[in-house]
Structures are given as structure tokens and as C-alpha cells.
Structure 1
């Protein structure tokens, strides 16, 4: 660890010496009246001029007349305002109102929808069970055949 600190201190001292030499060099150039290096390089680059655009000035010089922009005709404000007014008018969305869509549903409509398939299965099983019970009674009592048929007809009427 001590070796690393010594190396870092040496590097810091070397940087300080280089900076000191650069400052002295810079101050000598400034005192002698020479331009610093950055300014010399900047002076060597070509100067770029922006293009002249004459909008409301009519030049007298022939060379500057090429820079004059053509005159623009103003747009009629009334036409633009009329277009915006036409665009902002609300279009009628629905002419007729369907009352069935607006009426609230019963609170249990989703339960009935979800249970409908299960009720269909249960209805089929119930019919099978009733038919099996009737067969058992018919085997047991041949005499009450008419009563058993009447009972099934009454059960079917009650289930509907």
C-alpha cells in the first residue's frame, strides 16, 4: 500500500511540473505579443459569412438585388377562419337512442350467464334420474302404471 502511495505522489508532482512549464510558456507568449496557439489556428480557418436575405428592403446595388426575396401575397384570414369554424362544428353522433342499451341490467345477469351451462347439464341428469325412478316403480308395481305416468307428466310440467 505504501508503494502505491509513493507512485501516486510522484505522478502528481510530475503533473504539477508540466503544468508549471505550460503556464510559463503561455505567459511568455502573451508578454511578447504573440498570439497563443489556439488563436493562430482559429485565424487560419476561412471566415464563413451567412447569406443575406432581403425581405422588405429593395437594394440599389445590382449585386444585392439577387439576394432580394420575392414578394409574398398575404393569405386571406377570412378563408382560414371559415375553414377552422367548419372543422370545429360538432357532428351529430347518434340520431336515435336505443333504450334497450341504456336500461340497466339486473344485478345478477352475469351469474345467470355463467350458471346457464351448468343448469343445462343438471337438467339432463335430472330427466335421466326421473326416467330411472319410473322404470324401477314399473318393475315393482305393474298396477300403478297409469299413476306413474301421470306423476311424470306432473313433474315435467312443474320443471318447465
Structure 2
């Protein structure tokens, strides 16, 4: 709540300054203008009024060099910029890491087998096919048992022989 009060106070002060500025401009419009000399004088007068009032800052010229001698004293001198290139170069040199030589593991350098990625990609599909194959073999055994063509021992032996042949064919 204190923040709201401070904002309202700042807004009120801003409105008062704007109204005072409008009054000054209206007063200047009423006065006759003789030329640029009166304008420079009025600027100098307003700067003095502002400093005497204390609420406003005096005019300081940082990038502008006025032609009037009375305003020359308000020109701010150019500031020498600090040379930071040397400081930055020192920090960059200090930040460079020294190369560290480590022992090289020959196992990591050995090339992989040429088909390692193929085996990796096919492994999931082969797992699915193995499951389906096992289901199909179990289903064939059930069908033979229900049809009564052979006894249980013969059916199991036939299925195991078929599985062995599949293993040999895949190798």
C-alpha cells in the first residue's frame, strides 16, 4: 500500500511540473521575440532559476558545445575511457585450459563390426517373430492332439525337431 501512495504522489508532482511548464510557455509566447540573443538569455535565465529553486537540475552540456560564452562554463569535459583491452587479454589467456594428455584405451578406438547397427535394429523384430513362432508351434501341437493323428510324445518330438531346424537355418 505504501508503494501505491508513493506512485500517486509522484504522479501528482509530475502534473504540477507540467502545469508550471505550460504556464511558462504561455508567458513566453506573450513576450515579443527580438531574435536568437533573447532566446539564449532566456535559456540562461531558466537554468539559473532552476538551480536557485533547488528542485530542478542545472543544465549540463555533455555532447553539445554552446556558442554563448556564458554557457561555456556548463560544458562537461570529455571523459577518458579506461583501456580495458589489456585487462581482457590477460583474462582470456588465464581462461585457456592447458591440454591434458590421457592414456588412450585401445578398446575404445577399435572399430565396431560393420553390421552392429543392423543387428541392433533387427533385434526387436526378431523378438516379435520368435514369440509368434512359439505360438504357432503350440497351436500346431494342439491341432494334432485334437485330431488324434499322433500321440503326445510324437507331436512334441516333431515340434522340437522343427525348432532345431529353424535355429540351424537362422545361423
In the superposition, the TM-score normalised over structure 1's length comes to 0.40
**Highest CA radius of gyration, 1 or 2?**
1
In the superposition, the TM-score normalised over structure 2's length comes to 0.38
